[in-house]
Amino acid sequence: MLSVHQIALDPNNKQRTFFAKSAGTARFSYNWALARWKEQYTAGNKPSEVSLRRELNAIKKEEYPWMLEAGKCAPQQAIKNLGTAFNRFFKKQGGYPKFKKKGEHDSFRCDNGPAKKGADAVQIKGRKIKIPRLGWVRMREPLRFQGQIKSATVSLRANRWYVSVTVETSEIMNLPSKNQGAVGIDLGSHHLATLSTGKKFEAPKPYKALLSKLKRIQRHVSRKKKGSANRKKEVFKLQKLHARIADLRSECLHQLSCKFTNDFHFIGLEDLNVKGMMSNHCLARAIADLGFYEFRRQLEYKGKRKGSEVVVINRWFPSSKKCSACKKVNNDLQLFERTWECPNCGVTHDRDINAAINILEEAASSAVSACGEGSAGFVHTDKVKLPFVKQEPNNKSHYAQVL
Ligand SMILES: [Zn+2]
């Protein structure tokens, strides 16, 4: 499987210049190819990234000699990226590709194709990475994964350069000894995550403070004159803060998804109806901030890597309103009620823990029924392997313990 590790770089001035030039070349090639694509399409031809790459290669020496400085990789990979963007568009997974602007997602990619060896290839030794045509650049930390390096994308974020290294790793890696047991996770706006074991996890505290700082700086920016040096300064501050907030969020989600996939080999999760919840104003902010989709994505790929199963249950399952003791659904339950008493059996529930227990139960039963009868009413992505266990009697007793 492919794993990606993003590492901050420590380039010197010469290397910074090379990065900026390469990112500029990549952007130019992407935009050039997109314009040609549109021209050819209107003329009734069928454009493709392969033909466009050939076309650019043939003319760049005469027409754009400055492109040669950045090497072959940056323009080639940029046009390949355009091909991917069009593929996504054709499959209705993304919008029509747009022209790239300077200063927005500046990046370029170096690819280790099968024929690349020696000087042309991306290599890593300890805390250094070798970028073709440039040489060795210092990294802030060593590469986390072992395996063959497939490609490296160098990108700029808030005035700092990063490299994302894609590595071909073995299917199951660093399988921890303690990943046993099953858990249901309720993702909420009140607590970031509540487990069926009763444990609750909060969003990191500095986060809120940074959000109010963000508002303040946004105000500063809007007061400064457009095009002024002072506005530029404030915009730069804003970018840095955005990056810091994104880092914090990502750190928090990574820590949690790592912990959960380390500790449990079966994880039940609810497919949140994010669109429906977004219309509810109070929840909207918290949900957009905490990135539920990202969290789910992390659980799924880390689970796959560590050999644990992630099952996502249907969003219409009444996880909050069902009593986990007597299974009766309490339709009168309001959103503000954090604890409630079941009118049927009288058990008092913590809203989130009760939901987490229900999620685990539903996920476990849908996974078991998937072994026997095929998928009956549960949602999963194709990234997750199913069924999660062979149907053996002792597997069932394992869940009986947890439930
Ligand atoms: Zn009850």
- How is 217-248 classified by DSSP, letter by letter? HHHHHHHSPTT-HHHHHHHHHHHHHHHHHHHH
CA distance 350 to 333: 12
Annotated active-site residue 106? The verdict is no
**Over 80: is that where the pLDDT of 204 sits?**
no
pLDDT in tens, 137-157: 999 999 988 888 999 999 998
Which tokens go with 392?
């053996």
Q: Is the dihedral of CA 386, 392, 396, 399 positive or negative?
A: negative
Residue 187 β-bridge partners: 193
Ligand 1 mean position, distance from CA 70 (Å): 67
Question: pLDDT averaged over the chain?
Answer: 82
Listed by start position, the domains of the chain span 2-168, 182-201+263-402
pLDDT tens-digit map of 96-130: 999 999 888 899 999 887 655 666 789 999 999 99
pLDDT of residue 3: 84
Q: Are 146 and 3 in contact (CB under 8 A)?
A: no
Specify the DSSP class assigned to residue 204: P
Of the listed ranges 47-61, 152-166, 176-190, 363-377, the least confidently predicted one is 363-377
The residue annotated as part of the active site, out of 270, 309, 361, 362, is 270
Per DSSP, the residues of 145-167 read --SEEEEEEEEEETTEEEEEEEE
**294 tagged catalytic:** no
In this prediction, residue 384 carries a pLDDT of 38
Does the annotation count 186 as an active-site position? yes
Which one from 186, 234, 300, 362 is the annotated catalytic residue?
A: 186
The per-residue pLDDT for range 327-356, each reduced to its tens digit, is 999 998 887 888 999 999 999 999 999 999
- Residue 56 alpha carbon to ligand 1 centre in Å: 69
